[in-house]
Structure 1
Amino acid sequence: MSNAVLLDNVKHHDLRVIGGHGQSFGDSVNEIPVFATEFAELQRDYPLYFREAEGGGFQAFALLGLDKDENLFLADGQWQARHVPAMSQRGPFLIGMRDDGPMLMVDLDHPRLSRSEGEPVFLPHGGNAPALERHMRALRTIHQGVEINAAMFAALQAEGLIAPVEIAIRLDDTTEYKMPGLFSISQEALSSLSGEALERLNRAGFLSLAFQVVASMGNMARIIELKNRKRAGV
């Protein structure tokens, strides 16, 4: 249960953030929500796909593992990839909304928070310490991504680019993983777009995002490699 309060450099002057990654920090998940604002970095490491969101529309996800609570990118307390998704990078911080705009919140019950270990949240004179600035960059990625995602999915749907996709991963004769309920960019529909549709998507900044999602599926081979190494105990 989250214990989110407004971050205050007086009340929370001695807060510290513990680094690293692992199950104790909630990183052991086989998929994580991601945002259009980080697709360019994500598509180099993870397969990206969509799921239908509650209330309509879609949410993008990055695949991290095949079994429940499995993150194949975790090793020795670190996240072994070039880009850590923003939802993990944000740590114990989150954005709250009020009439005069967004505000920075902190979950005081988050396992990354400490009063005795880790990096300080605030500088001695009260300014933001480097650790807080890093987490705030991740929050900006999420905040901006939420706004962009809705428009992106609407545009991709309008051009007929979003389609169901069946992902079945066979590791050997007896081990197969099937992932139901997924959507992606239809490569056939993308290659058949008219010049006008391509121009519309490109002008809106969504064409490159569509190609990044398509390219990301090449990372499925990396997921299989990591899974086989784990099974072999390597």
Structure 2
Amino acid sequence: MTRPVALDNVLHQDLRVAFRHGAEFGDGANQILIFPTEFEAVQREFPILFREEPDAGLQAVALTGLDRDENLFFDGTRWTSRYVPALQQRGPFSIGIPTDGEPDEGPTVHVDLDDPRVGTAEGDLLFLPQGGATPYLEHVSRVLGRIHGGLGAATPVYALFQELGLLEANVIEVTLHDAQRYRIEGFQMLSRERLEALDMAGVERLHRANLLGLAHLVAASLGNISALIDRKNASAPR
């Protein structure tokens, strides 16, 4: 159960948050939901795949492991990758969107007061003595802004990828050094071959939408599958 409330620099002047990662906070998952606003950073570390969700439609994920509840970039307390997906960076914070009948002051930062990281003595303050945001809260606000922008961009971006026929269902087959085999299916990938074979009209549509470079980054991210296999091999008992 969560109890998110809007942050207030008076009510929460002395509130502290001890930011930490953990499997209980979702860091141990083998696929993490990501957004177009972070694809450039994500593609340097993780393969970017797409999956169809019954209620949410097409979603992008960073593949972080081969087994269920396995994140090969997380050692139990911290991420070992250079980039951490935005949803896992946000900690106990979320975006508050005004509902019908409420003043539209734009998105606001909310904090879950029931989260065990909130209100601890060793945590970091969110507000300065004068009421301004601390560097930590400023970082959280940037992360939430990336998520908010990504939520709005995802549907049209993925729809254009689909319309241009860039996504294809594919299977990842992996054999480890101990001969253990994995078959990862149920995902779609952005095909480099289809992207390179796109006609000029399709290239122009991607260019006008400012997505041509992003599409190439997503296709290039699949090269990270080999690095994922290396991590899995290194973690396996010999």
Please tell me the TM-score bracket, short chain as reference. over 0.9
Partner SS, residue 196 of structure 1:
helix
Determine the structure 2 residue equivalent to 1:12: 12
Instruction: Output the amino acid matched with 2:71.
Output: N
Determine the structure 1 residue equivalent to 2:114: 109
Determine the structure 1 residue equivalent to 2:150: 145
Determine the structure 2 residue equivalent to 1:54: 54
The Cα of 1:119 is off from its aligned counterpart by: 1.4
Partner SS, residue 182 of structure 1:
strand
Q: Given that residues 47 and 218 in structure 1 are in contact (C-alpha distance below 8 angstroms), is that contact kept between their aligned partners in structure 2?
A: yes
The Cα of 1:22 is off from its aligned counterpart by: 2.8
**CA deviation profile, 1:158-207 (whole Å, cap 9, x unmatched):** 11111111112211464222222101112232121111210110110111
- Match 2:126 to one of 121, 130, 134: 121
- Number of matched residues? 233
What fraction of aligned residue pairs are identical, expressed as a percent?
Answer: 45
Residue 74 of structure 1 pairs with residue 74 of structure 2: yes
Q: Which stretch of structure 1 is more off in the superposition, 24-33 or 131-140? A: 24-33
Q: CA RMSD in A?
A: 1.8
Distance change in 2, residues 1:176/1:149 (3 Å): same
Q: Which stretch of structure 1 is more off in the superposition, 95-104 or 61-70? A: 95-104
Q: Given that residues 17 and 131 in structure 1 are in contact (C-alpha distance below 8 angstroms), is that contact kept between their aligned partners in structure 2?
A: no
Q: Structure 2 matches for 1:75-94, cutoff 5 A?
A: 75=75, 77-94=77-94
The Cα of 1:109 is off from its aligned counterpart by: 1.6
Partner SS, residue 78 of structure 1:
coil
The Cα of 1:24 is off from its aligned counterpart by: 4.3
Distance change in 2, residues 1:112/1:7 (3 Å): same
Detail structure 1 runs of 4+ shifted over 3 Å in the superposition: none
Q: Given that residues 169 and 178 in structure 1 are in contact (C-alpha distance below 8 angstroms), is that contact kept between their aligned partners in structure 2?
A: yes
Determine the structure 2 residue equivalent to 1:181: 186
Q: Given that residues 27 and 88 in structure 2 are in contact (C-alpha distance below 8 angstroms), is that contact kept between their aligned partners in structure 1?
A: yes
Structure 2 stretches lacking a partner, 5+ long: none
- Match 1:229 to one of 211, 231, 234: 234
Distance change in 2, residues 1:83/1:56 (3 Å): closer
**CA deviation profile, 1:211-230 (whole Å, cap 9, x unmatched):** 11111111111111111111
Instruction: Output the amino acid matched with 1:122.
Output: F
Instruction: Output the amino acid matched with 1:46.
Output: F
**CA deviation profile, 1:91-149 (whole Å, cap 9, x unmatched):** 11101211413222111122322330121111122211111111111111110011111
Q: TM-score, normalised by structure 1?
A: 0.92
Residue 214 of structure 1 pairs with residue 219 of structure 2: yes
**CA deviation profile, 1:19-76 (whole Å, cap 9, x unmatched):** 3433244311111100111111110100110011333631100011112221111237
